[in-house]
Amino acid sequence: MDKSKEIIEANLKNRRKTEIKHKLIKVDSPIAKYDSSGNLSCILCRIPIKANVWKVHLTSRQHKRNLELAKQQHINTCNSFEKITPTNKEQTPQKAECISRNEVQLQPSKSEKTPQAQIDTVQVLPEKFFDHEKSLNFLGSDRDPEAEWIKFQREIREADTISNNIVSEEQESLNIKRHLKEIDEQIENWKRFITINDKKNNILKSQRNTKTLKIKEESSSSEEDSVDTLLDWRIKSVHK
């Protein structure tokens, strides 16, 4: 009995450990976000999701559609930026030519009297100053979309990796559930065994008590018969 109870307690302890391990699983994904209250949400779908159904959400039609839309949006942004950049580069020589013409026009002729301040301003500006400033602006705008695009591609690759691992993780979850079910079955079997064993012991005890009582009754009845027989013999002897 004590051994059976120890086995049941050990099974219950294993079940509690397995349940705690299953509950403490935290979603680690670049598209997963936790707020200050610990609530999980999907960045792409912008909806709250429970951690135990995160894998199901990744395979849902809505999430896949939002993922494709996000990819297409970044691709379109990158393509439109690539289209704008050559156009500006083509306009750069025209801009340089225009500036050089202006510089030629600003140069004073021998017959004209140009103020000294205006001549100094033209001489201070380096050659292709405006073109250089324009190119810096384009370089600055180049960095942000490119960095965002690289970051997005990395996140998509990580999301794809997580999606590819769903099968193995689901299998692990099924194994945990199967293990819990086996523990429950073992606990129920041990409880049933203990109940049946107690009933058996009670029945055997009752039978032993019944047999003891019956033996006593038979013994008492036999003694009474012996006394009656003895009395009959004495009576017969007296009459003779």
pLDDT reported for residue 27: 79
Over range 14-18, report the average pLDDT. Answer: 66
Can you tell me the distance from the alpha carbon of 42 to that of 155, in angstroms, rounded to the nearest whole number? 13
pLDDT reported for residue 176: 85
Residue found under tokens 């951690």 = 51
pLDDT in tens, 60-79: 888 888 888 888 887 777 67
If one compares 166 and 136, the residue with the highest pLDDT of the two is 166
pLDDT band at 33 (very low <50, low <70, confident <90, very high): confident
DSSP string, 110-171: TTS---HHHHHHHHHSPTTHHHHHHHHHHHHHHHHHHHHHHHHHHHHHHHHHHHHTHHHHHH
Ordered strands of the 47-48 beta sheet: 32-34, 40-42, 47-48
Does residue 22 have a pLDDT over 60?
A: no
> What is the maximum alpha-carbon separation in the chain?
192
Least confident of 16-25, 26-35, 119-128: 119-128
Indicate the average pLDDT of the chain: 68
Helix (H) or strand (E) holding 47: strand 47-48
pLDDT in tens, 88-106: 444 455 554 544 444 444 4
Does residue 206 have a pLDDT over 60?
A: yes
What is the Rg, in whole angstroms, of the alpha carbon atoms belonging to the chain? 48
- H helices present in the chain, as ranges: 2-23, 54-58, 61-106, 116-124, 129-164, 166-239
Over range 44-57, report the average pLDDT. Answer: 84
Helix (H) or strand (E) holding 34: strand 32-34
pLDDT reported for residue 163: 67
| Whole-prediction pTM | 0.32
